[in-house]
Structure 1
């Protein structure tokens, strides 16, 4: 943190250790089960007993509104998302209510029903009267599921007098925060573009787009470079304000899906730490070169709306040309011809892949270095197998086709990224938005694939490899890119990188939450002794835990400095390393001082690691993984999927011991699997688990019969069961224990 402020992570359980709850509820269920089965339900001998953890059914609410300040007469648009603690949406809701109270505490609405817009998602619109009292209005939201789990939370908005917020002047359904001309009802988001009128009819920032004019002309044709950016702000003040509050500009935001300090503002502007350039502390000039601003940090007191660089997104050629200038500002290189400068502001359009990839493909220091599934080659690649969605012979889609923007806030981010730009829509770009039903039991034509979709993410099968352009797999700050020591003798340079191409992903369970390191955290809390690494980002989840699915990830390591005494990863001064002396020791000393330590604080080199979700590089469906890519004839292969590490084949998992439930059996793996998974509809966790979940024989040396009898031997297990259980001579727990 700047100013020497160091944040310490709160102590919490190690996310790598599975937490198990066994209590009175579980015992009562077992006893009840024994009494019910006393008359003999033989099939249940092989069936798993699944006990729900009530703690996981705790409901969490995310509440937001279209804005926080309103004027009398405006409509408050409330959005509510309800999830269980494990991240699953609350699908079966008995009550979704809201009560409204004015600043005096007077109740204006009592338990009104909210409108369902999706599983676990609700909305409610409340029209303030023209005489609405000013001050903080309280919206009390209550969600209750069918099992009587409930949650109540209060949400506040402010009502200000004298036009405290945007209003819908023209009555077209869009207020002035959304409408680029709120005095003309024919102009609003979603309106049809009228060619040749020189007007941005649909408020997307482009005049007469799709009319053969390339987006130029109209109100932009007469602009010159000297009008930038004042003309943009004058015509589009609401859009400028929306950008100023977005994560793209702020580089900070709430991080609801981070388990590490989720209530704090997180992001690369301040506290994010990774295994690439570590942290921004001390190096705004280099790290900020991809910021959508014109040079100043977004938290600089002098950074007004004029600091927003609209052209970074709305003119691809400008985005490619932009550099850091001598005065610290960002813009076209010195000496750029006037005609080129004027052309930038005259040719405005929606963002293209070029605009987005200029920054996102070059993150980490070069093309394809960081993400592994993004590269500049995606701008005009014609090979459908490179990326079926973006290739010119495939979908040829713009980034915002999936990463949809709403008021300049975007949906979608990686597992290692912290802030969620638009909490009302969440962080996930769901494949089923376009491919509806593919996650259902009949979504695919092959029944065996349909058995996988509940626990295997789409990306896992449809991104068989990544790094079609070589990506970084390891970084060592002790050496420069050419292998020479980073001792300052050869001046500044980039750190030494190890790269790889056409790589097979790592596969992990992920419940869409992550544990990401923040500047000043005690790294010992998440040290991984098995890998001997100090994680900067770990996706969380586990074998059949909550909403967890198996996802593909890029795995990457780095050699980084850490304090010896209190185990803080050091924000090495990358400006000193990349643009200054190039001496790694001096860069570490500067970093220590920036963090509030003495320059001579003892440090050591450690290996950090990160997992990064893979979403891009989807191949045509003909290239998707098939059964034999992961399974061999035994069903216990490690061809691609690390089944043991994922929890499937850990001893004494029942999948390796048929006799746990049966007598001696001889059956091929595939036939056996089809009989249980498809024919008997057994839950996967009943067989694929670290501990048996069904009835097992007590561990005695004489065998089951001789617990009660002497010298008995009986090999017909089914008949034997009928003699004891079906005739009521024995209770289940007389012979069987858990």
Structure 2
């Protein structure tokens, strides 16, 4: 009886919410707003940089190119120095807290930049960040080309420390391949507004490989199909990243650690000058049309658009979902080795341990108000539980929070057994203390913590960890959005969110009784109506 009751309630909820079609339709007001926002917005280039004398001089290095850029773009250096792309620190946090990958924040990928700068800063938008002595006040150290060049020949990795090559015009070897130093004049004269290719140079390959970190950002997003992303596809809106990540004085709109992507959820009708980072910016908070759509619109104050419109991530290329550092250090015939599995991705590396990759991953869902809390190597942890090295902030009672999809990367990461804090190992380098050189966790951790100016007991262990990434890209076409029963059923995707009542998922005696009363009353009403018509018809015939 209980099963029937819940099934009926679930069916009623699904029919009521979904009706004959879940999609909003081509004439939905939100879609019209999106079209209006992009109509006639073609960006005309007003300068041909190949004609500038300042860019025709013989360049031998990146800083020389930047110096030439600054002769015209006199304020760009000051502006860029204030951005997170330069500092790698949360501008809202106190400097001593070390919030940001340029500080003391840890993750469960390669853990920390501290003492590993030459490798970690390979895609920093600057030249020469190889240690603490990097001059953050130097404008000539800014790398203008990584964001603006359009030849596609400018490569940062694997030279290290943000440098593209050791010497102009010469071949150099890195990562098992040969590379040529940039043709400085050619790349300098090609500059224009950033494209997906420019942004993807770093953001598609975060963590040292294609799709490693962000489950919704990888090289498939450079020229995505419409099925992969309706906004960025050439057969869709063909958006560049900057269409949504709007930029003012080099400050690019987006979530920054504890800083939400947007405080106000305004549409273009309300503020055409604001950042366009939210779905509501173009689609408004009421994007669905028709009676069914109106019910769907009732969800937008509690459910992020991404939760329904991004059913899975890593749909074309795999993303890393598990990384176990505790298994690193194994050798074959006394030498490090690599094992590759499905998709040609490493499942074991002596340098890094066990790994697991997945495709078409179903997100995990959390209440999210736009801020993420991160821990540093100073934070005291509970090693008896999985350590959330980053976690979304929000609750069902917070009017700014919505249910949001996330990639959760899990693993086993080193920590200080005595002091009970995450540690910073010195991984990269040619010195014997570097883990990838000597494979000694104690020496590597002692060196890394000393470099960061932090205490270390000398006892290294490994703890389960979790790290989150909001899923906001790979927006599917309207025909591929989630069906209502994905959440409104006993197999709900939202089974972990238990602080509220979900029709079709949860049982409640009062609600169940009310639902049965409505169903029975409806049936009785239909029967009485039918009997009444039969009785009246019979009397007329008499």
CA drift at 1:271: 1.8
1:119-158 counterparts in 2 under 5 A?
Answer: none
- Aligned partner of 2:253 in structure 1 is 411
Native 8 Å contact 1:387 1:619 kept in 2: yes
CA distance in 2, matches of 1:490, 1:393: 46
Say which SS state the counterpart of residue 201 (structure 2) adopts.
helix
- Aligned partner of 1:359 in structure 2 is 202
CA drift at 1:550: 0.6
1:32-431 counterparts in 2 under 5 A?
Answer: 207-208=47-48, 216-218=50-52, 222-226=56-60, 227-255=64-92, 266-296=99-129, 300=133, 302-303=135-136, 304-317=138-151, 320-323=154-157, 325=159, 330-332=163-165, 334=167, 335=170, 340-381=183-224, 383-413=225-255, 417-418=257-258, 429-431=277-279
Native 8 Å contact 1:293 1:308 kept in 2: yes
CA distance in 2, matches of 1:338, 1:556: 35
Native 8 Å contact 1:477 1:584 kept in 2: no
CA distance in 1, matches of 2:86, 2:367: 32
Q: Are 1:490 and 2:336 counterparts?
A: yes
Rate the CA distance shift 1:407–1:361 in 2: closer, same or farther, 3 A: same
CA distance in 2, matches of 1:587, 1:298: 17
Say which SS state the counterpart of residue 255 (structure 2) adopts.
coil
Q: Deviations over 1:598-649 (max 9, x none)?
A: 76622321111122110001011121112233224xxxx2242316535436
CA distance in 2, matches of 1:301, 1:584: 27
| 1:551 aligned residue (404, 408, 432) | 404
| 1:627 aligned residue (474, 484, 487) | 484
Q: Are 1:656 and 2:514 counterparts?
A: no
- Aligned partner of 2:327 in structure 1 is 479
Between Structure 1 and Structure 2, the one with more helix by share is: 2
CA drift at 1:314: 0.7
| 1:505 aligned residue (363, 375, 379) | 363
Say which SS state the counterpart of residue 231 (structure 2) adopts.
coil
Between Structure 1 and Structure 2, the one with more strand by share is: 1
- Aligned partner of 1:466 in structure 2 is 313
- Aligned partner of 1:93 in structure 2 is none
| 2:393 aligned residue (534, 540, 543) | 540
Rate the CA distance shift 1:398–1:421 in 2: closer, same or farther, 3 A: same
CA drift at 1:585: 4.2
1:600-611 counterparts in 2 under 5 A?
Answer: 601-611=458-468
Rate the CA distance shift 1:453–1:235 in 2: closer, same or farther, 3 A: same
Rate the CA distance shift 1:359–1:488 in 2: closer, same or farther, 3 A: farther
CA distance in 1, matches of 2:261, 2:74: 20
CA distance in 2, matches of 1:603, 1:514: 27
TM-score of the pair, normalised by structure 2: 0.71
Query: Over alpha carbons, which structure has the higher Rg?
Result: 1
In structure 1, runs of 5+ residues without a counterpart are 1-189, 201-206, 209-214, 673-738
Rate the CA distance shift 1:502–1:254 in 2: closer, same or farther, 3 A: same
CA distance in 2, matches of 1:264, 1:426: 30
Rate the CA distance shift 1:244–1:262 in 2: closer, same or farther, 3 A: closer
Q: CA RMSD in A?
A: 3.8
Paired residue total: 442
CA drift at 1:262: 10
Native 8 Å contact 2:262 2:278 kept in 1: no
- Aligned partner of 1:436 in structure 2 is 284
CA distance in 2, matches of 1:350, 1:578: 40
CA distance in 1, matches of 2:244, 2:332: 42
CA drift at 1:594: 3.3
Q: Deviations over 1:341-371 (max 9, x none)?
A: 3211121111111111111111112100101
Q: Deviations over 1:486-506 (max 9, x none)?
A: 998528734432111101100
CA distance in 2, matches of 1:402, 1:605: 40
Rate the CA distance shift 1:621–1:329 in 2: closer, same or farther, 3 A: closer
Say which SS state the counterpart of residue 406 (structure 2) adopts.
strand
Q: Deviations over 1:450-489 (max 9, x none)?
A: 2211111100000000012111111111334xx9469985
- Worse-matched range after superposition: 623-632 or 602-611: 623-632
CA drift at 1:514: 2.6
CA drift at 1:269: 0.8
Rate the CA distance shift 1:594–1:461 in 2: closer, same or farther, 3 A: same
Q: Relative contact order (C-alpha < 8 Å, sep 6+): which is higher?
A: 2
Rate the CA distance shift 1:217–1:388 in 2: closer, same or farther, 3 A: farther
CA distance in 2, matches of 1:269, 1:388: 34
CA distance in 1, matches of 2:464, 2:506: 37
Native 8 Å contact 2:55 2:185 kept in 1: no
In structure 2, runs of 5+ residues without a counterpart are 1-40, 172-179, 265-272, 338-349, 524-542
Q: Deviations over 1:370-425 (max 9, x none)?
A: 010000121123x11111111222222111111111000111126xx346799999
Say which SS state the counterpart of residue 446 (structure 1) adopts.
helix
Native 8 Å contact 1:467 1:500 kept in 2: yes
CA drift at 1:274: 1.4
Say which SS state the counterpart of residue 305 (structure 1) adopts.
coil
CA distance in 2, matches of 1:640, 1:377: 26
Q: Deviations over 1:572-593 (max 9, x none)?
A: 2221557533444432332343
CA distance in 1, matches of 2:263, 2:508: 44
TM-score of the pair, normalised by structure 1: 0.54
| 2:469 aligned residue (573, 588, 612) | 612
